[in-house]
Chain A
Amino acid sequence: MSIVFWRREVVCQQWVELVTDYLEGALPRRTRKAVDRHLAGCEHCAEYLAQLRTTIKVTGSLRADDVVEAPPGVMDAIEALLRELDGP
Chain B
Amino acid sequence: MVALPPDHELVPRLRARDAAAYRVLVGAHQGALIRVAQTYVPSRAVAEEVVQDTWIAVVRGIDRFEGRSSLKTWIFRILANQARTRGERERRTVPVSSLAGELGDDEPAVSVERFMGPAGRGMWAQPLERWSEQPEVSTVSGETVAFVEMTMQSLPEHQRRVLELRDIEGWTSHEVCELLGLSEVNQRVLLHRARSKVRASLEARREVR
A: residues with CB less than 8 A from B are 1-4, 6, 11-14, 16-17, 19-21, 24, 26, 43-45, 47-48, 50-52, 54-71, 73-75, 77-79, 81-82, 85-86
Tally of A-B residue pairs with Cβ under 8 A? 164
Tell me the minimal C-beta distance from B81 to chain A in angstroms: 19
The 6 closest A-B pairs by CB, nearest first: A66-B31, A20-B192, A70-B26, A13-B122, A55-B199, A59-B167
Q: Which residue of B lies closest to A56 (CB)?
A: B167
Cβ of A58: which chain B residues have Cβ within 8 Å of it? Answer: 137, 140, 144-145, 148, 198, 202
B30-60 residues at the A interface, CB under 8 angstroms: 30-32, 35, 51-52, 55-56, 59-60
Tell me the minimal C-beta distance from B175 to chain A in angstroms: 14
Stretch at the interface among B67-75, B84-92, B94-102, B127-135: B127-135
Cβ of B60: which chain A residues have Cβ within 8 Å of it? Answer: 81, 85
Cβ of A17: which chain B residues have Cβ within 8 Å of it? Answer: 108-109, 192
Interface pairs (10), CB distance under 8 Å: A2-B120, A11-B121, A55-B199, A62-B168, A64-B145, A66-B30, A71-B30, A77-B55, A82-B19, A85-B17
Cβ contact within 8 Å between B132 and A60: no
* B66 interfacial by beta-carbon distance below 8 Å: no
Q: A16-B109, A81-B59 are known contacts. Are A74 and B140 too (CB-CB below 8 A)?
A: no
Cβ contact within 8 Å between B192 and A78: no
Cβ contact within 8 Å between A67 and B138: no
Cβ contact within 8 Å between A82 and B59: yes
Cβ contact within 8 Å between B195 and A47: no
Cβ of B35: which chain A residues have Cβ within 8 Å of it? Answer: 65-66
* B196 interfacial by beta-carbon distance below 8 Å: yes
B1-38 residues at the A interface, CB under 8 angstroms: 1-2, 17, 19, 22-23, 26-27, 30-32, 35
Cβ contact within 8 Å between B51 and A50: no
Cβ contact within 8 Å between A16 and B108: yes
Cβ contact within 8 Å between B198 and A68: no
Partner of B196, one of A12, A16, A59, A63: A16
* B178 interfacial by beta-carbon distance below 8 Å: no
Query: Besides the contacts A20-B195, A54-B202, what 19 more A-B pairs have beta carbons closer than 8 Å?
Result: A2-B120, A12-B124, A13-B115, A13-B122, A44-B128, A47-B131, A50-B131, A55-B198, A58-B137, A58-B148, A59-B163, A61-B140, A63-B31, A63-B169, A64-B145, A66-B1, A74-B30, A81-B60, A86-B17
